Structure 1
Amino acid sequence: MDSKVQEVINLYPKEIAQRLYQVRTLIYATAQEHNIGAITETLKWGEPSYISPVGSTIRLGWKKQTPDNYYVYFHCKTSIIETIKEVYGEKFSYQGNRALVFNINQTLNNATLAHCLSLSLKYKK
């Protein structure tokens, strides 16, 4: 794990950090399942980001203003969120055309989120 990414995640509240680590693990597992290639882990805008060699960047975040929520961001100039809305509709909460919003008390559906992540990871493929 990139040490700078780990430092940032560890600054978040414990429950949020655990959820973001869970999403991170799912990103790598999904990339492996779809033979995406090496994922680059870095910080973008001070947040953990995952760059796919054949897709679009996924960024993870948490904001002090919404302490019970965490976010999975997709590039806003893609159709990824639009596609997720078409497929899953009300199953997710959204932040415009750029993020899925999760509440800490919400159960994470790994299979559904993995599908959403795969849309980004192989976006240019």
Structure 2
Amino acid sequence: MNRAFADARIAAIFDGYNAASRPGLMALRRLILDTAAADNRVGAIEESLRWGQPAYLTPITKSGTTLRVAPHKSAPIALFVHCQTSLISDFSAEFPGQDRLDGTRAVLFDGASQIDPMRHGWLISRALTYHL
């Protein structure tokens, strides 16, 4: 499902991404919003800019930790989590060797086809409910 941007600045950021990055970043955005909508514990998602990148927060329930989507210096697409959480290590333990990771802060993708709604949805769900 395509969801409109509530903030024109965020839409402009996505519009500015190159053709190698935009489809995958939009797919991650959709997966974040769909995952949040499917879990009533998460509440409304706030889409904002953090460090100039689209970020997703749970300001009402405060159930989760921030997720960000943006290109990475080593990949056209990345899903970033807070590096001081256990999210990436938990993800890596659950799905060993299935993704390229940047330490404790990101999952890296070379293209949108590498995004697995089940596997990466698992990580997104854990991030959105990290404080529960």
Give your verdict on TM over 0.5.
yes
Confirm or deny that 1:18 pairs with 2:23.
Answer: yes
SS of the aligned residue for 1:19 comes to: helix
Unaligned runs of 5+ in 1: none
The aligned residue for residue 49 of structure 2 is 43
Structure 1 CA distance for aligned equivalents of residues 119 and 37 of structure 2: 16
The residue identity in structure 1 corresponding to 2:38 is E
Assess if the C-alpha contact under 8 Å between 2:36 and 2:128 holds in 1. Answer: yes
Quote the sequence identity (%): 27
Structure 2 CA distance for aligned equivalents of residues 85 and 103 of structure 1: 18
Structure 2 CA distance for aligned equivalents of residues 108 and 57 of structure 1: 19
Structure 2 CA distance for aligned equivalents of residues 24 and 6 of structure 1: 12
**Root-mean-square deviation (Å):** 1.4
Please give the TM-score of this superposition, normalised by the length of structure 2: 0.87
The aligned residue for residue 102 of structure 1 is 109
The aligned residue for residue 87 of structure 1 is 94
Structure 1 CA distance for aligned equivalents of residues 9 and 87 of structure 2: 27
Structure 1 CA distance for aligned equivalents of residues 111 and 30 of structure 2: 17
The aligned residue for residue 124 of structure 2 is 117
Structure 1 range deviating more: 14-23 or 24-33: 14-23
Measured after TM superposition, the shift of residue 106 of structure 1 is 4.3
1:64-116, Cα deviation, whole Å (9 max, x unpaired):
x44x5211000001100010011011111100100000112743211111111
Confirm or deny that 1:62 pairs with 2:71.
Answer: yes
Unaligned runs of 5+ in 2: none
More helix, by proportion: 1
Q: How many residues align?
A: 123
Assess if the C-alpha contact under 8 Å between 2:64 and 2:127 holds in 1. Answer: yes
Confirm or deny that 1:72 pairs with 2:79.
Answer: yes
The residue identity in structure 2 corresponding to 1:61 is A
